[in-house]
Amino acid sequence: MADETLSLKKAFSGHGGFGVDETTMAAMVTKWRKQPDQKSRFRSDFSGFFTKIGSIEKCEDDFLLRLKTEFSRFKNIMVLWLMHPWERDARWMHHVMHKSYPFTVIVEIACTRTSEELLGAKRAYQALFNHSVEEDVAYHIKESYSKLLVGLVSSFRYEGPQVDNDMAKWEAKALGNVIKSSGSGKLIQNEEVVRILTTRSKRHLKATFKHYKELHGKPIEEDLGANLCLQETVKCIDKPAKYFSEAINIAFKEGADKPSKLSLTRVIISRADVDMEEIKETYHKQFGVKLEDMITKNTHGHYKDTLLTLIGK
């Protein structure tokens, strides 16, 4: 194991203009797949690129700057793969804060991570940027969905098995009444909608969405109009595999913009050790083609090999 760590250190030492040993990097992804302890030990031992901060080993800013100047998708995916998941999520949220439609990444992280994972990302955010996620979202995002986003990133949801079915049914009716009376345009600022989506457990919300469909004969997403932030919030909570499958597929489309292309790396890196098998099954069912075949068709070189390894081909 020590030899593997040394080999990976040497491979990374090429950053700075001396070339990068991409073959060794790609091989380590295969050997260390689903072994977070190995990556943690590597970060602890590699003081040139990682520094202990709180409970995580953060990637040095100078290293990230050099990475940017020598940018290639393969180098980027390798650093993200090695990075502590909390730091990774914190940097992703910070990066999109000044971009158009920042809710995509923020909703994704807030609604698909466990409560402990989201809390860890928020702690990493404070350690890295000397601000809380909540205050930055509230300050930088002025659109109508700001209140919902602040609520989502502030949440620490109950994750136990208990669901109050009567309450879930009542809240399904309440959502239906709000949608009917307010119209889809004002929903995202409605206090009852924000309260339900940002405080209830995921099991409770799935039950609520199920009752909504039974009451109204269609999924709640269909009644949210063009409210993309609300649609993605509901989808991330209720059907995360479907959300991730669609995010990946958009990255493959001709003419996809840069944020859409980046979602391929982000989704596969963050879900490789979580629910990738379910995402692959959902992708095949939705689009009639295997995810590994699409990756093979649309990517190249070690970047392609690394993606295929991460999805468990």
How far is 19 from 27, CA to CA, in rounded Å?
A: 17
Asked if 12 and 42 count as a contact pair (C-beta separation under 8 A), the reply is no
Residue 299 has pLDDT above 80, yes or no: yes
- What are the tens digits of pLDDT across the range 180-233? 888 656 899 999 999 999 999 999 999 999 999 999 999 999 999 888 999 999
Query: What pLDDT sits at residue 126?
Result: 95
Residue 17 has pLDDT above 50, yes or no: no
Question: What SS3 state is found at 309?
Answer: helix
Q: Please state, for a pLDDT cut of 70, what percent of the chain lies above it.
A: 90
Question: What SS3 state is found at 1?
Answer: coil
Banded model confidence at residue 179, pLDDT cuts 50, 70, 90? very high
State the alpha helices, DSSP H only, in 35-84: 36-45, 61-69, 73-82
Which residue has 């996809």 as its token pair? 256
Chain center to CA of 282: 17
Query: What pLDDT sits at residue 23?
Result: 76
Q: How many residues does the chain have?
A: 313
pTM of the model: 0.91
pLDDT, average across residues 1-22: 61
Residue 303 has pLDDT above 70, yes or no: yes
